[in-house]
Amino acid sequence: MTAVAVAVAVAVAVAVPVAVAVAVAVPVAVAVTCRSFLRKSLEGPRMAPPPWLRRTRPGGFHSDRYQISYH
């Protein structure tokens, strides 16, 4: 085998798996992107928590009558 033939064989041996990997990865990436986009679209806006459950500081909740704390 000449040096050119060896270079061609090595180039093909590297290029073929790369091409197959790209051919598989691109549709998979598109499918995953579409899936996550659809999931986010169908999920709708997240509901805000009611004011009386709103956290005033880490570990505690504000109340008119008393302060609840888990500490």
Binding site for another protein (CB under 8 A): 1, 4-5, 8-9, 12-14, 16-17, 20-21
Angle (nearest 5°) at CA 62 between 61 and 65: 120
Nearest distance, CB of residue 58 and another protein, angstroms: 15
Nearest distance, CB of residue 68 and another protein, angstroms: 21
Q: Are residues 56 and 69 in contact, defined by beta-carbon separation less than 8 angstroms?
A: no
Which residue lies nearer to another protein by CB, 14 or 54? 14
Nearest distance, CB of residue 1 and another protein, angstroms: 3
CA dihedral 59, 64, 65, 71 (to 10 degrees): 10
Q: Are residues 60 and 69 in contact, defined by beta-carbon separation less than 8 angstroms?
A: yes
Which residue lies nearer to another protein by CB, 12 or 30? 12
